[in-house]
């Protein structure tokens, strides 16, 4: 009698392997045969879970971002002030991406897919929603910092949230290009300077 298959565990195994494969060879060069081999499953198994390579790539991106977001959100709860939670959030976001820098090319591939006809709508919508969710969470923390008196009440919380996300993105791109660069030290310094400027 065949053992029952844990579909969730198998799907996760496929996503982990596929994300690493996409990061290693890129979306265009990745084949369903190669992705199946990387995951240790048959090609038919991939099609049991994903309609085509684009669907698998999209799911890989969602899985990767969920890992980063979960780590960042967990750290956002740490700290006895809104300022501390914001610094922890920025630090954890950089650390999570830094820990998974080998997978960072997946993000670059997603940005490329968001610019291509055929995949533009799907991937640009995904990125737009991701940034919107991040901005909303960070904006909420900046507003909490204003309410607690940590920062000036006239500071533009939405602009601060957008700029912080841009800073984190930029630091990670620099780290990917130059592994000798220390994005965590820079993000801490940036956050402290930011609070020095907007603090009360």
Tens of pLDDT, residues 129-146: 889 988 998 898 899 889
Output the pLDDT for position 3.
58
Pick the residue with more confidence: 191 or 5? 191
Cα–Cα dist 56/10, whole Å: 13
Output the pLDDT for position 40.
93
**Location of structure tokens 């980063």:** 68
- Region of residue 31 (left: phi > 0; alpha: psi -120 to 50; beta: else): beta
Average pLDDT over residues 28-42: 93
Residue 4 predicted with pLDDT over 80:
no
pLDDT, one tens digit per residue, over 59-111 is: 998 888 888 777 777 766 777 788 888 888 888 888 888 888 888 888 888 88
Q: What is the mean pLDDT of the chain?
A: 87
Q: pTM score, two decimals?
A: 0.81
Average pLDDT over residues 45-71: 89
**Nearest one of 163, 140, 148 to 199, comparing CA atoms:** 148
pLDDT, one tens digit per residue, over 146-165 is: 998 888 999 999 999 999 99
Cα–Cα dist 24/17, whole Å: 11
């Amino acid at each position: 009698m065949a053992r029952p298959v844990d579909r969730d565990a198998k799907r996760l195994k496929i996503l982990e392997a596929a994300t690493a494969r996409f990061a290693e060879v890129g979306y265009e060069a990745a084949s369903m045969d190669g992705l199946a081999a990387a995951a240790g499953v048959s090609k038919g198994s991939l099609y049991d879970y994903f309609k085509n390579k684009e669907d698998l790539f999209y799911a890989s991106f969602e899985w990767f971002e969920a890992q980063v977001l979960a780590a960042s959100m967990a750290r956002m709860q740490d700290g006895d002030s809104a300022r501390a939670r914001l610094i922890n959030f920025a630090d954890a976001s950089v650390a999570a991406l830094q820990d998974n820098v080998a997978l960072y090319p997946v993000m670059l591939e997603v940005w490329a897919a968001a610019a291509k006809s055929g995949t533009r709508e799907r991937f640009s919508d995904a990125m737009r929603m991701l940034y919107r969710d991040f901005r909303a969470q960070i904006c909420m923390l900046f507003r909490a910092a204003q309410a607690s008196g940590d920062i000036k009440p006239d500071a533009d919380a939405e602009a601060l949230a957008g700029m912080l996300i841009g800073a984190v993105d930029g630091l990670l791109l620099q780290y990917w290009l130059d592994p000798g660069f220390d994005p965590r030290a820079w993000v801490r310094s940036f956050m402290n300077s930011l609070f020095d400027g907007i603090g009360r």
